[in-house]
Structures are given as C-alpha cells and as structure tokens.
Structure 1
Amino acid sequence: MHSLPDVSLRYGSLQVFHSLEEYKESGVCKIPGAVTLGKFDGVHIGHQKLIRKIMDFAHANSISSIVFAIEIQDRPILSHEERAVYLESLGVDILVECPFSREFMSMRAETFAREVLSETMHASYVCVGTDFGFGCRREGTASMLADLGRQYGFQVEIAAKERLFQEDVSSSRVRKALAKGDMKLANALLGRPYPVMGIVQHGRHLGTGIGVPTVNVHPGANKILPPDGVYASCTRLPDQTIRTGITNLGIRPTVGGKTRKAETTLFDFQADLYGQTIQTDLLDYLRPEHKFSSLDELKSQIGRDRESALAILPDECDRFYGGPAFEFHGQG
C-alpha cells in the first residue's frame, strides 16, 4: 500500500536528531552504524543510491543505517517533515541533521573523520559520492576519506554519480526543473512525485459555495516551490488512499487571496479533513494561475482543468503508484 506515514508518530521507526550534540547525548550513538553523508535536501535518485548501499550493509551486519544530513542555508527542496517521512518509508533507522555552524565549517577533515565518524557515530561503513568534500574549505575528498577510514577502522565505499538523460543527477538540477515547472523532469530526478505536505486548514469555503470544495495546505515557509499555477496531482490521505485531483498553487487572485497556498480539488471526494496531515504530489503543470472575472468563470475553468488532468493522470499514476495494493480513486 502506498500511503503517507503518520507524522504525529515522529516519523514512525525513524529516529531524528536535530544536531550532533543531541545525537551524542541520546545514547544511540553507541550503536555501530553504516553512514552516508551529504545535504540530502531532496533525497533524489543519487541520494537514494547511497542510502540503499548503507541499508544493505546495515542489514547484512545487524547495525544501524544512518543518514548524516548537513543543513545548509539554501531553501530546501523538501521540508524537514517531508524528508523525514520519506526516509522512514525507505527504512532508514537514524537521521542526524547537522547545522552548518561556524564550528562545523572550521573542523579539519582528519578531525571530522576521527571525532565524528569514528568516535561519535562508531561508523563501520561509510558510503559517499565521488564529488564528496568535507572538512574546512572542503579540504577532504572521497579518496582522502577512504584513507582516513583505514586509519580509524571504518570501510569507505565511493559510489559513482547517478545519471539521467546523459547528465549527472544533482539537487541543482532538481531546483532548475522546479523553477521551470518541469514536473516530469523534477519527478524523474527525485524518483517519485514532488510533495507538498501539511495540515489541512480552514479557508473561506468559497469553493464549497460553487460546488467545488477544496482542501487547503500552507507549504513550508522556506521550501522551494514550483511556479504558481494549476497542477495535475494526487493526494495521499490519512486513511492510506490516494485521490486524484488538481492543485492550485498560488495566492488565488480571483477571490482576493493574499497568502500562498496549495489548494486542491479532489475528484469525486468529500470528507472532513480539517486538522489532518495530507501530502499532495504535483505530477504535471497544466497552466498559470489566473484572475477570473467571476466565480462562475472560475468554476468553468476548473471543469476544463479537470479534463486536462484526467488525460494525464492515468500514465503518471501508473508510473508512481501502480501495483496490486494500490487504491486509486477519481479516474473520472
């Protein structure tokens, strides 16, 4: 069943630590681990390759799988909650979010290998990409880490870069695709649909008044978002079903909106979702946001958007959600 884990459970079996100090104080750090390191702001298919390797090693050796995420100041592709939920769904045991502090920036590469990887994380195995850099001014390279691993007793594997459409997969490529509203490329790079997760909020109920009820979510404040507009989407509900729909991302100028929201019309569905966490996956861009002269004109356009979405959704849903356990609603 493709479902959204319950965020209220603190990401199910995944343990999340918001700093290296918090991890040290937990006592969990005494358990040996298979570790991968990087920004992991989108957990794209290149990141997933590293994660699969540490999980394979961890399972084979009965140790913990640990994702060490370096927190940078750039706006992330995923919110912290979205990243944690996805890592939990992959089966990762531990996520350590390490702020890119002045102290961390000035740490020498050898010190990082000894104090962080060996003495704090008790790493048995570390997997990084070929372009991995660490330590003050990125003085450490992947090959240097392998040398340090032999010195401090952990195995290092350097994984080749993942490629898609004859180019390296990277977070910057995902960001560029999102900036253009190229959801098919962004989703291919991510290996799954781009999500907008949040708690359903009360709106002005204008959609209900014209017979087109919506669910409203405020995206994460710092999260990168694609351009404002209307998207074909699928929404994962708390009851583990997935509903098709269309999502307007923007300020809703026709009704005098001021704040940016993800406002989703779910096809053939009505229920009270207020206060519950949902995840809306944006599958394809349909059109820009537009200010209509009346609500009737808006309602007519929503009908046309529905038809456009229904022409796209079967293929996209088969690609990302297909399978014998998949519950798919709203095909028309």
Structure 2
Amino acid sequence: MMSKENQNSQSSCQNSVVTIGTFDGLHIGHQKILNRVLDISRVKDLNATVLTLFPHPRMVLQKDSSIRLLNTIDERIALLKQFNIKCVVVKTFTKDFADLSARDYVKNILVDELNVKQIVIGYDHHFGKNRSANINDLKMFANEFHFGIEEITAQDIEDVTVSSTKIRKALDHGNVSLANSYLGYTYFLTGTVVKGKRIGRTIKFPTANIHIKEDYKLIPKDGVYVVSSIIDTITVYGMMNIGNNPTVDGKAKSIEVHFFNFNTDIYNKTLKIEMHTRLRDERKYDSVDLLRQQLQRDKEASLNYIETLK
C-alpha cells in the first residue's frame, strides 16, 4: 500500500528509478545511494523513488519487540522528502507479503505499480519468499521486463551496514555527537508534550514532558543533553533529561525538556527535539536544592555550547 503520509498519487510514481531498503536513519551511507538515484532521475527524466517496508520484517516474522529503530516510519518518510525523493512508497510488511514469490514481487510491485525503468540496488540484495532470489535473478527479470540495474558496490554496502550499527551503539552510549557525524544531520526525537508532575516549576526549571508513542524508537542513554526545537517557526534551545528523576523518587522513565527563555503553553503540541551533545549522566542528589544548583550549572554549560552552534 502507499503510505497515508505520502501525498503522491500512484500514477506520479510511474516511470521510476527505484531503490529498495529499510533506510533506517537515512545516514551518510544511505545518502550516497539516494544521490545516485537522484542523478539517474535527472539524466533519464525518471521519478526518484524509494520503496521501503514497514513494520520491520523481524517485528512480523519473529515477533521481535526488542527492535529499536533510528527513525519512526513518519520520520523516515519526512527525511526522504527532505532529501528530494519525489516518491516514497511504503509497503506494509505482512506474512502474505513475505510469501510473495520473487517473480510476483518484481512484476506486481516494481513493474505494474511503479513501471520501473531503473533499479539501484546492492549486489547482496535478496528478495521474494524466504529471500531466495538474488541479484542474478533480478538481472533475469530485468531482461524479461526491460528495466536497467545499477549495482551498489560491496564497499558502499559495507559503509551502509557499518554506519547503522555504529550509530545505534553511539546513541546507546549517549554519544550523540558521534552519531550525528555518521548521520550527516542532528539526531532527533518526535513526541507530544504531555502534563507531568510539574516538579520542575517549583525549582524554577519547568519542563515539557515529551511522550513518544512509537515504542520501537531508539532513545539514547539516560542523561542530560543540549537540545533544540523549532516552535512556531522559532528555534528554541534547551536541555533535556532522559531518565527516572531519582532525586524526586521518580519511578518511570521520562523525557523532559527545559527550554531557555521560553514561557509559552505548548501542551499537546508535537515537537521535533534535536539532540546536539550530552552533558552528563543522570544522578541522584541528596536534596532538591542540590539538584537545582546542578541544573543551573547544566544551563550555563548548555548556553556555552549553544554559542558554538551559532
């Protein structure tokens, strides 16, 4: 199916140059592939198209709920659009989809739906039921259905694979600066502002509590981070805590942002929170006053760091 978020009509994705993949993170390795798709689309006057799957196959076939992805599906679509991909086609991954034969997959989706003229794909790409077909099978289908194939080299495939792994490990360790260098943009969380316990207000550090509905979204390591968000077209900086708020006997994990010089009601707003760097671990203080003093130091460190971004 075409994703609801995609505003393209099915016909506008006809006559396409297509690449296929999960593209989780849309990092610098992925961007290299997308740039090749865009180059071909301009030279051959084709629609630049990404065919991606959701949910992740492991979520469906293995019932694996431990998967953490760098992007939600909405974030992935938005990023692809930002990278000038004209058509984003999201296929709902089901067991029936997994059972499609290789030929049915190529004919029904690539040929009939997208009228593919060129495919940009990895040399190690597998597809069809039990992932039984490979690049050689695709070349045979290309001859039958008259479309071209450009293989992505082993080196480029390695870059894509290694980068995704490195990004997840970096975020698990709280190293968002390193993750951002691999992504080529600032890692971000998208969530809705909900009401919390309002303890921050009592120590002059009010926070916006961010609720992320997608439980598969990778949340970086607990701690304090320098962040920013565009709110009503204005970039607002702040600091974010991920953790359990042990000083005030917090139980559940929360994501809370204190925005600097900001006093607007943003309850129920959906915010994109960009994460720039990590300041420290979360820790328990002997008193709320000591916590307040630490937050003041965090604010000063954040403001100093923010000056380097401007």
TM-score for the superposition, normalised by structure 1: 0.78
- Alpha-carbon distance, 1:16 to partner: 5.6
Q: Which residue of 1 aligns with 2:18?
A: 35
Query: Counterpart of 1:17?
Result: 3
Deviation at 1:27, TM superposition (A): 4.3
| Aligned position for 1:57 | 40
> AA paired with 2:217?
K
Choose 137-146 or 224-233, whichever is displaced more: 137-146
Segments of 5+ residues of structure 2 without an aligned counterpart are: 60-66
1:200 alignment partner, one of 193, 204, 208: 193
* Correspondence for 2:69 among 67, 76, 93: 76
Which residue number corresponds to residue 27 of structure 2?
44
Q: Give me the whole-angstrom Cα distance separating, in 1, the residues matched to 2:278 and 2:50.
A: 32
Aligned residue type for 2:229: T
Instruction: Tell me which residue corresponds to 2:64.
Output: none
Label 1:286 to 1:135 Cα distance change in 2 as closer, same or farther (>3 A): same
Counterpart residue number, 1:183: 176
- 1:173 is aligned to 166
Distance 1:158 1:280 in 2: 36
Equivalences for residues 120-159 of structure 1 within 5 A: 120-159=113-152
Structure 1 letter corresponding to 2:246 = P
Give 1:244's aligned residue.
Answer: 237
Shift of 1:302: 0.9
For the residues of structure 2 that align with 1:131 and 1:308, how far apart are their CA atoms? 46
8 Å CA contact 2:30, 2:160 repeated in 1: no
1:282 to 266, 270, 275: 275
Identity of aligned residues (%): 29
**Contact 2:14 2:113 survives alignment (8 Å):** no
Instruction: Tell me, yes or no, if structure 1 residue 232 matches structure 2 residue 226.
Output: yes
Distance 1:172 1:183, change over 3 A: same
Q: Distance in 2 between matches of 1:113 and 1:201?
A: 45
> Which residue identity lines up with residue 69 of structure 1 in the other structure?
T
Instruction: Please state how far the C-alpha of 1:94 moved relative to its aligned partner.
Output: 2.5
1:312 CA displacement: 3.6
Q: CA deviation at 1:270?
A: 2.5
By how many angstroms is 1:263 displaced? 1.0
Taking the aligned partners of 2:208 and 2:235, their CA distance within structure 1 comes to 14
Residue 85 (1) aligns with residue 78 (2): yes
Tell me the secondary structure at the aligned position of residue 272 of structure 1.
coil
CA distance in 2, matches of 1:277, 1:60: 39
- Return the alpha-carbon distance in structure 1 between the equivalents of residues 183 and 15 of structure 2: 29
Q: Which amino acid aligns with 2:248?
A: V
Structure-2 separation of matches of 1:41 and 1:99: 16
Deviation per CA, 1:265-285, whole angstroms, max 9, x where unpaired? 222333222222221112222
Are the equivalent residues in 2 in contact too, given 1:162–1:169 (CA < 8 A)? no
Structure 2 length-normalised TM: 0.83
User: 1:223 matched to which residue of 2?
Assistant: 217
Instruction: Name the structure 1 match of 2:103.
Output: 110
Q: Which residue of 2 aligns with 1:306?
A: 299
Q: Which amino acid aligns with 1:230?
A: V
Cα 1:63/1:167, change in 2 over 3 Å:
closer
Post-superposition shift, 1:92?
2.1
Q: Where does 1:238-277 land on structure 2 (aligned, <5 Å)?
A: 238-239=232-233, 241-277=234-270
Deviations 1:3-23 (A, max 9, x none): xxxxxxxxxxxx96169xx99
Per-residue deviation at 1:295? 2.4
Q: CA deviation at 1:254?
A: 2.7
Structure 1: segments with no counterpart, 5+ residues: 1-14, 318-327
Q: Distance in 1 between matches of 2:106 and 2:307?
A: 48
CA RMSD of aligned residues (A): 2.9
Show CA shifts across 1:272-317 (max 9, x none).
Answer: 22222221112222222223333222211111222333444444x3
Map Cα deviations across residues 239-268 of structure 1 (whole Å, 9 max, x no partner): 1x3222211012323334344332112223
Aligned residues: 297
When residues 191 and 167 of structure 1 are mapped into structure 2, their CA distance, relative to the original with a 3 A threshold, is same
Change (3 A) 1:259 1:238: farther
